[in-house]
Homo-oligomer: A and B are copies of this chain.
Amino acid sequence: MEHLLPRPDELAFATDLYQLTMMAAYRARPESERATSTFELFVRRLPEGRAFLVAAGLEQALAYLSELRFTGAQVDWLRTLPVFAHAHPEFFEWLRDFELTGSVDAVPEGTIVFPNEPLLRVRAPLAQAQLVETYLLATLNAQTLIASKAARVRLAAQGRTAIDFGARRAHGFGAATLATRASWIAGLDGTSNVLAAQKLGVPVLGTAAHAFIMSYEDERDAFAAYHRHYPDHCVLLIDTYDTLEGCRRAAAIGPSLKGVRLDSGDLGELSRACRAILDERGLTKTRIVASGDLNELKIAALLAEGAPIDSFGVGTELVTSRDQPALGGVYKLVERTEGDRRIPVMKLSEGKVTWPSAKQVHRVLDADGRLVRDVIELADAPAPQPPPGGRVEPLLQEVMRDGRVTAPADATDVHAARARCAAQLASLPEGLTRLEGYDPPPTEIGPALQTLADELRAARGVPDDRRPIDERKEP
């Protein structure tokens, strides 16, 4: 019986086979081995229904990059593959001693990002940079996907509590735990997932299930028993039989009743009726919790109609990002070196330009700290001027140098990331915080990058049949 949970010491195999076959070929070419290549990981287009993304997953990416080793057993197994029958033995010796020696820049977790903005940049020999593509994409795609969805839930719920209830619907428990992390970064208030809560230091929350209520003959006995056990944390699920009668029975507990939970029916109407029942009995501090296939649009609609709901439990829709269950992050070569010469790489196909060379994103904020625009510029070009009283902040920072993690703790700490995301959400112009009908991404290309791109375009002496196509999504 195999749990099939990947172990940290076997993550060198967390890659696509073609990365390994390409590595063997690169290794046999001294020029590609000596050369440094620069890859950037970014999202080319926003999924429909997303005005922005929230970068997440960097801690797991750095844990992977910094500990990446092949075990002897893995190398032996590779040698048995028919595809490697003719591979040079030196390749396998090299794998046994493999360590990443490259350097990495990235945006800190919780940063709001837009299309074409690098979330992460790897500078390393080609074979190294190629190997890590798959895991980096899987890790950053997954958490950024969920953090971006969770941020919408956060915006929709306004000041109300919003909790991750999705463990049972995520794509396995590994995905559930990543979803909790991403949701916390994006500002949700806790989770029902005990393992994730313990690992992350996130509040763990829960009430009771219908099975508990139904294990008693009488709902009142179930309520009394739950209150006896959890006198200071008594949130009662009231919709097992008749919701309003359940609410009255729960209210009989008295003012120590912390909350009632609705999990079905018309949540707007029921919450208003429950609020009236509770208030009538003086239980003005008893909270109303709602759950049941909620998403950000339903939450916004409930609050717009004045539903007096204090806390939302969000499950399936959150942890699978149900309306957009995949993020199309890509990892593209943007520069290579030949000797001392840096050669920017640019894909030029119609409508799918990949911007060349290593880049920085300069966030321009006005005097009130509000986001004005992002300028995507060559990493070594000057930053744009700040507006009067405002400032300009670079988003990418060094997180790994020569194979050693150099990230400041707050780049990956979930609580720091959460604070960063909250501040950045607050800095967004209103046109980007709408759930629907939001503005396009406020990004522009810096002058140095534009000039380089224009030069490369103009100087494209390569014949038309050498123009690379673009936007590759799968191995």
A101-109, A168-176, A296-304, A432-440 - the one binding chain B: A168-176
Interface size on A, residues (CB 8 A): 135
B residues less than 8 Å from A172 (CB atoms): 138-139, 142-143, 171, 174-175, 178
Pair A231/B86 contact, Cβ less than 8 Å: yes
Pair B316/A473 contact, Cβ less than 8 Å: yes
Q: Confirm or deny: A42 has a beta carbon within 8 angstroms of a beta carbon on chain B.
A: no
A152-160, A211-219, A364-372 - the one binding chain B: A211-219
A45 CB, min distance to chain B CBs, angstroms: 13
Q: Confirm or deny: A166 has a beta carbon within 8 angstroms of a beta carbon on chain B.
A: yes
Residue of B nearest to A318 (CB): B474
Pair B7/A475 contact, Cβ less than 8 Å: no
Q: Given known contacts A130-B211, A206-B21, is B166 in contact with A474 (CB within 8 Å)? A: yes
Q: Given known contacts A133-B168, A165-B475, A169-B141, is B16 in contact with A225 (CB within 8 Å)? A: no
Contact of A333 among B63, B66, B214, B320 (CB under 8 A): B214
A162 CB, min distance to chain B CBs, angstroms: 13
Pair A194/B86 contact, Cβ less than 8 Å: no
Contact of A20 among B2, B194, B325 (CB under 8 A): B194
Q: Given known contacts A2-B60, A86-B230, is B22 in contact with A173 (CB within 8 Å)? A: no
B residues less than 8 Å from A293 (CB atoms): 473-474
**A29-56 interface code vs B (CB 8 A; 1 in, 0 out):** 1001000000000000000000000000
Q: Confirm or deny: A82 has a beta carbon within 8 angstroms of a beta carbon on chain B.
A: yes
Pair A142/B170 contact, Cβ less than 8 Å: yes
Contact of A181 among B4, B177, B178, B472 (CB under 8 A): B4
A270 CB, min distance to chain B CBs, angstroms: 12
B residues less than 8 Å from A142 (CB atoms): 170-172, 175
A209 CB, min distance to chain B CBs, angstroms: 6
Q: How far is the CA of A330 from the CA of B64 in the complex (A)?
A: 35
Pair B315/A473 contact, Cβ less than 8 Å: yes
A375-383, A417-425, A460-468 - the one binding chain B: A460-468
Report A's interface with B, CB cutoff 8 A.
Answer: 1-8, 10-11, 13-22, 24-26, 28-29, 32, 59-60, 62-64, 66-67, 74, 77, 81-83, 85-87, 126, 130, 133-135, 137-139, 141-143, 145-146, 165-179, 181, 192-195, 197-200, 204-212, 214-215, 219, 225-226, 229-233, 239-242, 245, 263-265, 291-293, 313, 315-316, 320-322, 325-329, 333, 336, 345, 405, 412, 464-469, 471-475
Q: List 15 A-B contacts (CB under 8 A).
A: A2-B199, A4-B181, A5-B6, A11-B173, A16-B165, A17-B197, A17-B205, A18-B192, A20-B194, A22-B211, A26-B215, A138-B176, A214-B345, A242-B467, A263-B473
